[in-house]
Every structure is written in C-alpha cells, then in structure tokens.
Amino acid sequence: MEKTNKVMWGEIEDDENFDYLLPAKQMIGPDENGIKKVIEYRFNDEGKTVKVITTTRVRKGKAGDKRVVERRTSWTKFGDAVHDVAGGGGFTTVSKEDILLERPKSLYGTKPEETKASQELVKPGAVLMICRNCGKKGEHWTARCPTNNHSSTTDHAEASTRTGTDHHKADSYVPPNKRGSITVPDPRKRNDENSVRVSNLSEDTREEDLMDLFGTFGAVARAYVAFDKMTGTSRGFGFVDFVNREDAQLAINKLNGYGYDHLILRVAWATPRAN
C-alpha cells in the first residue's frame, strides 16, 4: 500500500539515512484471535513513501514440563555441596586437583640451534653452565660431571699406553716440536695483551667452566684458575686469554657484573706483568 506523498528536497538534510522523515512504526493487537498487525513505512527505489502492513498470528504454548528439574533439586546433597546454600553456588562439584600444563614440543624438535649470537646467549637469568664432558646445560659443572671418573680412567689408560710407547722409543731421536714436554702449555704463562682477569669465582669453578663461559664470545687460547698451594682450594680469581682482543672486550662488556654460580662476576683487563 503506497502513499502519494513524495519527499520534498527542502526537507532533506545532508544525511544518507532519511528514515527520520517517515511516520512512526505502529503495532495493533493481538486481538482475541491472536492477530497482530505491524504498520511501518519505508522508501522505495523511486523515493516514494511506502506503507508496509505485516499481519501475524500469535499463539501461546505451554512450556516444557519442569517436574523432572524440580525432582532433582530435592535430592540429598553430598560432598562440598552440603555446605552450599540452596542455589547459592550454582554448581554441582568443583575439581580440587592441580592441573599441570605441559608445553608442547617444537614442530621441528627440541634440540636448540647450535649457532647462536653471543648477545642472545648472555641474557639476564640465562644459564651458562655447560658441561664439557656430557654436553648438558644448566644441570652441573664440568668438575661435578658424573662421567668424570670414567673419563679419568680412560685418560689414565691412554697415558699409560703413551708412556709404554715412549719407553720403547727412548733410544730414538724425537724432534723438539714432537716432544710431549713442548706441546704442554705452561699454566703460569699468559698473553697479557688479550688476557682478561675474572674474580669473585666460586670454589667449584674450574678452567673448563671458564672455557665454556667465555668461549661463547670468541676463540679462547687458555683459561687458568688460581688455587692455594697449601689447601688446594680456589682463590676466587682466574685469567682467560682470547685469540682476538675484540672478543675479549665483548666478554668484559657482557660478563662484568653477571650472576654466575650465585656470585657476581668481576671481569676486567688483566694488569700487565712487569718484565
């Protein structure tokens, strides 16, 4: 049903929605037969006002039987629900067990990449304990590795074999560059130019631990931990010689003031010794 009233341009504002120009929506009924009419107005494609009448029948039905629900509410409560007020909790039971969430394994495996930047390895809270014997990280020091006894036995057997071989060759000439005494470096000598002094070490720290710790920044020529000659305990400091001076400077910048084995390290350039 259409009305002949056409929208006047003077009544149109700068708005794309012109529904405010239409008459209000009307609702009639429902009557005794359940008939309800809804009268509303809208614009057609030609810009004319169109009256739309929608007629519907309303029927009232009975809701579902609630006797089963009421019968459940009369049951005797048990467990933690006994102390709950009627309808106060809104639940039947609550799980009291601890639920542990496991992080799923990586899609490409759990083995970390072997090549990482030194800046990523040294972060607050990062673990730099790497055992040189078994390769485990963050579990124990190299000096406390369970495989130390086996390694020492193997090394002793190899040393015995080399001693026996050298005994048979005692009468033959051995060049100086192939003699065992020449290849063993003197732990008391160090390269002062690229040497770094690290102090406030724990009693359990060994040369292997320093090699693992400082080796993340570059090639390490040697590491030395000072021990007391009388008691055999660590004196709390040591030296690390780098091949490149730039790597030594990077280690000083990253490890000075870093927490290691519950102690704060002090890393600086080693004082050159007098000739």
**Sequence-separated (6 or more) residues with CB below 8 Å from residue 272:** 192
Work out the pLDDT band at 223, boundaries 50, 70, 90: very high
What are the phi and psi torsion angles at 240 (to 5°)? -130, 125
When pLDDT is averaged across residues 18-30 and rounded to a whole number, the result is 80
| Highest-scoring range by mean pLDDT, 111-115, 159-163, 254-258 | 254-258
As beta bridge partners, residue 137 has 130
107 vs 262, higher pLDDT: 262
Cis preceding-peptide flag for 30 (omega within 30 of 0): yes
Mean pLDDT estimate for the chain:
73
Is the CB of residue 236 less than 8 Å from the CB of residue 201? yes
Average pLDDT value for residue range 73-94:
69
> Coil, helix or strand for 158?
helix
pLDDT in tens, 108-128: 444 555 445 445 555 555 556
Joined together, the tokens standing for residue 64 give: 């579902």
- What percent of the chain shows pLDDT beyond 70? 59
Under the banding of pLDDT at 50, 70 and 90, the label for residue 1 is very low
As a whole number of angstroms, the distance between CA 134 and CA 157 comes to 20
Please, are residues 51 and 37 in contact by the beta-carbon 8 Å criterion? Answer: no
Distance CA 84, CA 71 (A): 18
More confident residue, 182 or 249: 249
Q: Among the listed ranges 35-49, 87-101, 219-233, which one has the minimum average pLDDT value? A: 87-101
pLDDT of residue 249: 92
Neighbour count for residue 254 (Cβ, 10 Å): 18
pLDDT of residue 114: 46
pLDDT the model gives residue 267: 92
Query: In this prediction, what percent of the chain has a pLDDT beyond 90?
Result: 16
pLDDT band, very low/low/confident/very high, at 268 (cuts 50, 70, 90): very high
Nearest to 203 by CA among 225, 230, 226, 233: 233
Q: What is the pLDDT of residue 31?
A: 85
Residues 56 and 35: their CA atoms lie apart, in Å, by: 6
pLDDT at 110: 47
Which H/E stretch holds residue 267?
A: strand 266-269
How far is residue 252's CA from residue 258's CA, in Å, rounded to a whole number? 10
Angle formed at CA 87 by CA 81 and CA 88, multiple of 5 degrees: 80
Distances (CA, A) of 224 to 71, 186, 210, 237: 82, 10, 8, 9
Residue 185: per-residue pLDDT:
47
pLDDT tier at 269, thresholds 50, 70, 90: very high
Among candidates 243, 241, 247, which has minimal Cα distance to 270? 241
pLDDT tens digits along 184-202: 444 445 567 889 999 999 8
**Confidence (pLDDT) at 165:** 53
Domains and CATH numbers, the chain: 2-57 (no CATH), 125-147+188-275 (3.30.70.330)
**Confidence band (pLDDT; 50, 70, 90) for 261?**
confident
Best CA proximity match to 127, nearest among 19, 274, 271, 260 = 260
